[in-house]
Chains A and B, each alone.
Chain A
Amino acid sequence: QTVVTQEPSFSVSPGGTVTLTCGLNSGAVSTSHYPTWYQQTPGQAPRIIVYSTDTRSSGVSDRFSGSILGNKAALTITGAQADDECSYYCLLHMGSGAYVFGGGTRLTVL
């Protein structure tokens, strides 16, 4: 069974930088998985931040950047702000046409 792993929680200071990661139990994450990152605040629908590894969605701050770091996909947030505090989900395309979401990372800014 394919499992996409994310840190359950992370904390960052206001103005700080944090890197969230997205791994795969069956091997390395690559651009072929088209890593996508979503942001979700409680009670709201998810909002896309980054797709195809490193392309920011329209209107998303350049404080958010996606990449591959080692064998994982990564989302880096610089200059963390209070309204960055929410959950972040990674989504990977599994080649067969199926997708798997990671368990999500709850980010705290304090």
Chain B
Amino acid sequence: EVQLVEYGGGLVKPGGSLRLSCAASGFSFSTYTMNWVRQAPGKGLEWVSSISSPSTYINYADSVKGRFTISRDNAKNSLFLHMNSLRADDTAVYYCVREIRRGWFDPWGQGTQVTVSS
């Protein structure tokens, strides 16, 4: 079964840092581009970042550029999102998703909640 499990979320103060992880299983992780997508409470979906495999092509949404860093470890079937200088508007559920084809993100895990608050 193809599965993505996100973890590492939590409560952090404004200006703080957090590292999200995503464990992949059931598919050949090293052959797929991976993405992070987030959803703030009661709001819509927001694409955050993507990383190809190998990590040649990396992209970020303008809202996180310079603060977030995406990375991957193909040997460990893992995806990461290092988040610095966190702000209240970064509060969201963060999903790691596999990119099957352009725009086709699947599966979606349960996500991990990040709350930025003092």
Contacts and interface: CB of A to CB of B under 8 A. Distances in A.
Contacts of B50: 97-99
B103 to A, nearest CB: 3
Nearest to A99: B47
Chain A interface extent, by class: 20 to 34
6 contacts: A45-B107, A46-B108, A98-B59, A99-B47, A102-B44, A104-B45
7 A-B pairs with least C-beta separation: A36-B103, A45-B108, A34-B102, A99-B47, A104-B44, A97-B59, A51-B104
Given A52-B101, A97-B52, 11 more contacts: A36-B102, A45-B109, A48-B104, A48-B106, A91-B105, A97-B59, A99-B103, A100-B47, A100-B61, A101-B45, A104-B45
Interface of B: 35, 37, 44-47, 50, 52, 57, 59-62, 95, 101-111
